Structure 1
């Protein structure tokens, strides 16, 4: 499951008993050697989907971690790209291993330090860190920092069948995390079930987005022929344009 350079069981235990922010600060040096990093084939599939939607100017990787999604933005965006995350450790790792020209910004996804500055937002594997009550604020922030016509795009997998081993493994993990958070502080929010395509579409629509889907055929199909994953494409309508929309980010880089 982990590469030899990955974290030890003890290191994972320490991380799991920390807050989300501090836990990722601790994990950052070895994060890219864990299965938590978004796989390259997922990034490639989303890149292909974005090529059919672009080109774009400015791009932002929301909850960027060590920067796995930045290469996606660099390929489809003609202007400057940025990554935002609340973990200083993850940002430091991203900065060390990414070419110059990327703005790395430390910030809270629920209160983004930008104006209406981006044409494209992407996010990979971050939504399990947000409780259901927090997602309206998350999507409202994504909507706010996009220019009219801008798009918020992220992959979402088909749910595993209830009778599958994967489903019960994820359910077991979520159950352990709920018990851990009930008896230990600070909480570590990371849940795999409970945020699927219906929830994503409904919550993005309530935030003001127009939502469409793109199949990601590169990631395979299920036995019934349906795709194993889709890209959610949430577009901020042009009607949302305001006369004083900001043209550039005003955040300071971390």
Structure 2
């Protein structure tokens, strides 16, 4: 894990400023993608909650989206460079450096967890630990929403970065929706909603959004 985490941190530190400039808000998301985030926000509020952990918050753009919908958001990310952009562009947000495998949050402390394309750099061996952490920190009756590219096996993200002038290595671990649903179920979550759409624009893979709930 150490080598993988270091690779991911180095890559996102290197691209942080460009990423923040290119995607200041929700430019990469289709309206249907954001509908799943809106659904999460509504469910949290309707269940009497208000707190969401954006686990893998990057530059804070999705944390901002949730905060603008009245939620109290804490963001965590592995990359100090991405967090620096989040603090610069969203100084009112609470963001912290941490790993998905050791969330700096107490047991049952939040009403929802957002894993927005943040599990994609974890290996199959690491994924159960990350989902177990999400289960630990979300309260009974709370929700988790994960987004990811649908595929099978590793995908060399570093190739695209090298074509843009970055001397970086970065791998994305792609999975099918059944594999992710099975992993969520193993962690203790119950499926609430599933959305899969075909690639749009420059996307090369279908995009999946899975909403699950920790049983009350």
Whether the 8 Å contact between 2:155 and 2:171 is mirrored in structure 1 is no
Asked whether 1:48 is paired with 2:19, we answer no
Residue of structure 2 equivalent to 1:137: 129
Residue of structure 2 equivalent to 1:149: 141
Asked whether 1:24 is paired with 2:12, we answer yes
Whether the 8 Å contact between 1:69 and 1:123 is mirrored in structure 2 is no
For the structure 1 residues 188 and 147, does the alpha-carbon distance in structure 2 shift closer, same or farther, using more than 3 Å as the test?
farther
Decide which of 91, 95, 98 is 1:104's aligned counterpart: 95
1:10-53 Cα distance to aligned partner (Å, 9 max, x none): xxxxxxxx722122112111113458x96143653333332552
For the structure 1 residues 142 and 123, does the alpha-carbon distance in structure 2 shift closer, same or farther, using more than 3 Å as the test?
same
Which structure is higher in RCO with an 8 Å CA cutoff and minimum separation 6? Answer: 1
Asked whether 1:208 is paired with 2:196, we answer no
The alpha-carbon deviation at position 230 of structure 1 amounts to 4.9
The alpha-carbon deviation at position 125 of structure 1 amounts to 1.6
Whether the 8 Å contact between 2:44 and 2:142 is mirrored in structure 1 is no
Asked whether 1:62 is paired with 2:55, we answer yes
* Matched pairs, number: 192
Name stretches of at least 5 consecutive residues in structure 1 with no aligned partner: 1-17, 160-166, 178-186, 223-227, 239-254
Q: TM-score, normalised by structure 2?
A: 0.74
Please give the root-mean-square deviation of Cα atoms over the aligned residues, in Å.
3.3
Which structure shows the higher strand fraction? 2
The alpha-carbon deviation at position 75 of structure 1 amounts to 3.8
Q: TM-score, normalised by structure 1?
A: 0.64
Name stretches of at least 5 consecutive residues in structure 2 with no aligned partner: 1-5, 161-167, 201-205
Residue of structure 2 equivalent to 1:119: 111
Whether the 8 Å contact between 2:76 and 2:95 is mirrored in structure 1 is yes
